Amino acid sequence: MSTIYILWLRQIKKYFRAKSRIIGALGQPLLFLLVFGFGFGSIYQQAGQGNYIQFLAPGVIMMSVLFTAVFSGIDLIWDRQFGFLKETMVAPVPRWQIMLGKAVGGATVASFQGVIVFILSLFVGFKFHDPLMLLAAALFIFLVALLFTSVGIAIASMIEDMQGFQLIMNFLVMPIFFLSGALFPLKNLPAALDVITRIDPLTYGVDGLREALIGSGNFGMGVDLIVIIVVAVIFLGAGSYLFERIQA
């Protein structure tokens, strides 16, 4: 288990050293909170839905977690190109431990990013309803981060160049985000769109976080938690299998 800890610690150190990366990753969530939150706030309120910032903030927090988690797969490609992965792979430990260390490290980094966006959202008017539920919110953030870090590692295990990885990730990430209900309510959707949003795993992460922070959700926190855990385990397994077959 020391391998998992070492790789986890390496990811954390890389995150805090890259201060420009941390600041740069906050630009898009802040833009969404300000432009969408205040730009569509009056329309949302006129429709009888209440304060749009309250609705939007959990979705933007999960957006930050999603982007940071998925693109952590780039580190695997980077390690492969510069030889660090080969040094790691020759260690006398199972490869699944290496993959798990990278996944947990990437998930921790993505969770930190989500917490920072949560703090920023408080300055633009977001208010959570119960301090005790912050632990549940943190759990949803970490599980979603672990899920999509595993997705990023699984895809990075099959791709050797960063350009190809970024193209595939952009093709996947934007639909996953926009179809998750992060920006719009999931009630009274057309039948086809309703089915697609229910297939999207981020939908349950956003819904669970919204339930934890503002007490408003569609599926119930228990359902959200079960779905996220099951999907996270599936992708951890898939990521481990693909990582086992990787050629360093």
For residue range 185-215, list pLDDT tens digits in order. Answer: 888 888 888 899 999 999 999 999 999 999 8
Domain count of the fold of the chain: 1
Share of the chain above pLDDT 90, in %: 32
What pTM value is reported for the model? Answer: 0.88
Residue closest to 158 by CA, chosen among 101, 77, 102, 96: 77
Handedness of CA 174, 180, 182, 186 (dihedral sign): positive
CA distance 9 to 4: 9
> What confidence score (pLDDT) does residue 16 get?
61
Which pLDDT score, from 0 to 100, does residue 241 have?
Answer: 85
What pLDDT score does 35 carry?
A: 80
**pLDDT band for position 10 (cuts 50, 70, 90):** low
Q: Which structural domain range is residue 176 located in? A: 2-244
Average pLDDT over residues 149-173: 80
Contact (CB, 8 A) for 204 and 120: no
- What is the rounded CA–CA span in Å between residue 120 and residue 27? 11
Determine the average pLDDT of the residues in 163-179.
82
Residue 170's pLDDT band (boundaries 50, 70, 90)?
Answer: confident
Residue 19 scores a pLDDT above 70 = no
- d(Cα 66, Cα 70) in Å, to the nearest integer? 6
> What whole-number distance in Å separates Cα of residue 192 and Cα of residue 206?
20
Residue, of 135 and 34, whose pLDDT is higher: 135
Mind listing the pLDDT tens digit for each residue in 214-234? 988 888 899 999 999 999 999
- Say if residue 48's pLDDT is above 60: no
Number of other residues whose CB lies within 10 A of the CB of residue 72? 27
Instruction: Quickly list DSSP for 87-134.
Output: HHHTSSS-HHHHHHHHHHHHHHHHHHHHHHHHHHHHHTT---S-GGGH
Q: For position 244, what pLDDT does the model report?
A: 78
